[in-house]
Chains A and B, each alone.
Chain A
Amino acid sequence: MTDTDAEQSSGPARMTRRSLLTLVGGSAIAGCSGFGGLDQSDEVTIRSNNLPDIRRHQELKAPVHPAVPVALAPSYLDSSRTRVYELLSELPIPLGPEEIPNGHIRQRLTDAASDASDGLDDARTARTGLVTLRSLRHAREHARYAAAGWAVAERGLTDRSLRNEYSQTVSTARATRRDHEYLGMDPVRAALVHSTIETALERAADTEPRPQADSELLAVAQWGERAESAQAYLSDARHITTQFTSSLPDGGGSIENTLITAGETLLAGLRDRRSNLPPESTYEERHPSQMVAEDLRWKAESEIGSVEDAHGPASAVVHANTRLTRFLALERIKARQEAGELSRPSTATAVRSIRQQAYDSLASALEADAHSGLVRDAIVDAGYKIIGADRELSYLQGEIDASRLDDSIAGYWHAMALAHSAPAAARQTASVLRTE
């Protein structure tokens, strides 16, 4: 399967129980004050039951799933599942007071085993191959935690062998990272694939401090989890490398210099944009458009460091693309503010419309652009913004002042701005990659 075959656009369509708008104090329609779209909402209230029907503890699924443009081998995914089953099979069923008398420790182990099973389920329903890998990796980590913890009670396992295993995996991952070849044909695809590999190898090679556990058994369990995690990251990196390389005609050629040069060019462009940002505007009143602008500006400025300190040349390019998207989104929000397009909504219908536009903009961004991989990567955060906005809506009860929707509205506008800006950013990034 390709990494995105199973994905469909997810929207709010199923949340339509609330359909009628209620505007209490309807004469006080919110207006726009021109620049900034600042408006008065003191007298505007909205009944929350006319807002999109999102229940407080409803599980919200991210509408954009990270992906890598590589076809993963079903046999590899099967081997990861088998590894989880093997680890879980080491546990006695049921794991009761006879086996682990301490109820707290027993619960931690059974919870980990349960989380491992959940990870297998998540992998089955994952929309992309990369999410499948992530779910299986989590399942392995949890299963190893439970198995290592049980092994302490069953056969006196200590952390020594696990620390050695972890240390060896870290060494291997560092060697793999050092020897990694940046092969490719299409530099955009190569940047996305190698960025994923760089991240996985970084995680595998990143030594962490001694686990902070409240019991000796759980400390051993944590070492087991850590050893498994490093091994899973390393295995995933190797598999993606193998699959990608085998997909290239004649193995492709090295594009390392292309990535390095493109990353430098993109970074220089980001620094220029940062230095040319106008002074921050001041506002007299809190407003969702202002919240979005401040958030985007802060992230665009501060996250340039993630490009400068990227794990490798491919990650530098991909991170730069994401940051460029934020700069363009900031420009878009500013333009919409100045055009008076961002009035605080004063009706439930308006809120529903903004939310629908946010979902639609993500779907359009993913479908429309030729560089969909870069676009997707840049708007994963936009999906989380929408989820956060939905979550905020779910907390509202009764008749509320329109201003209490500011966090949600800001989230939807933020996501929309990213989604509308991502294709242009991707085109710029691709252009730089292909001219280097």
Chain B
Amino acid sequence: MRVDTDRRPVWISDDGSRPTPDPHTRRLVSEVIDSDSKAGQIAVATDVDRGAIDTFLEETDFESETIYLQSVIVEECFRLELCQINWGADSISTDYGRRSRPYDDPCEADTELYSVWFIRIPQAINADDVSSYSSSVGGSPCDDERTRTTTETDRTTQTTPTPMAETETER
């Protein structure tokens, strides 16, 4: 879905107020959703499919799972792919690949979108314990080397995390 906006289409808010436009907007914003109450603070723009997000959140058991929410600015003619996510008790890292949309998909080369990712991590992580975040967005699609959803270190489970289909909102 596409909305002409320069503000994040999904955000955490006590009162539902939306972040104001900022010319220095960070290109990637992350949130750790570790409870039903925090999930309840997720606000979305009016033109975002709230139903799909709510369903994904309702299917999450925060006793044993965590949602990692990332809003990434990407050029309109590209789609992001989640190549891998690694996590521990105090750290989360993601690596995205970038793939062009099909040639017959209308888009403008200089327009940017918000690509919003809800990733279900099969481990309960306390958001306050997470002190290390890292993310990278490569200039090419995920390849065999980059497509790994687990690491050998600092892991308590080998279950694959579940990414929800990305939600896109034009900036």
Contacts and interface: CB of A to CB of B under 8 A. Distances in A.
Contact of B141 (A106, A152, A153, A214): A214
A218 interface: yes
> Which of B78, B103, B143 lies at the interface centre, i.e. has the most chain A CB atoms within 10 A of its CB?
B103
Nearest to A153: B103
B99 A104 contact: no
Interface stretch (A67-75, A95-103, A428-436): A95-103
A30 B67 CA distance: 64
Interface in B93-131: 98-111
Contacts of A100: 103-104
Nearest to A217: B103
Contact of A215 (B102, B108, B111): B102
A107 interface: yes
B103 A105 contact: yes
Contact of A101 (B99, B107, B140): B107
A102 B105 CA distance: 5
Given A102-B104, A104-B77, A105-B77, A215 B109 contact: no
A218 B140 CA distance: 12
A104 B107 contact: yes
Given A214-B98, A214-B139, A101 B103 contact: yes
Nearest to A107: B109
Contacts of B111: 103
A106 B109 contact: yes
Interface residues of B, number: 22
A244 B61 CA distance: 77
A104 B100 contact: yes
A107 B78 CA distance: 13
| Majority-rule SS of B interface residues | loop
B82 to A, nearest CB: 16
A153 B111 CA distance: 23
Q: Kindly name the residue among A100, A106, A152, A214 whose own CB sees the greatest number of chain B CB atoms within 10 A.
A: A214
Contacts of A79: none
Contacts, number: 59
A212 interface: yes
Nearest to B105: A102
Interface residues of A, number: 17
B65 to A, nearest CB: 32
A216 B101 CA distance: 9
A216 B141 CA distance: 11
Contact of A104 (B104, B109, B141): B109
B108 A103 contact: yes
B39 to A, nearest CB: 34
B170 interface: no
Interface string B7-33: 000000000000000000000000000
Contacts of A153: 103-104
B75 interface: yes
B76 to A, nearest CB: 8
Contacts of A102: 77, 100-107
Contacts of B105: 101-102
Interface string A200-228: 00000000000010111110000000000
Given A103-B108, A103-B109, A104-B109, A214 B103 contact: no
A105 B143 CA distance: 21
B100 A101 contact: no
Interface in A88-145: 97, 100-107
A153 B107 CA distance: 16
A104 B110 CA distance: 8
Nearest to A103: B109
Given A102-B107, A152-B103, A215-B102, 15 more contacts: A100-B103, A101-B106, A102-B101, A102-B105, A103-B77, A103-B107, A103-B108, A105-B77, A106-B103, A153-B104, A214-B78, A214-B100, A214-B141, A215-B101, A218-B100
Interface of B: 75-78, 98-111, 139-141, 143
18 contacts: A101-B103, A101-B104, A101-B107, A102-B77, A102-B102, A102-B103, A103-B106, A103-B108, A104-B75, A105-B77, A153-B103, A153-B104, A212-B140, A214-B100, A214-B139, A214-B140, A215-B99, A215-B101
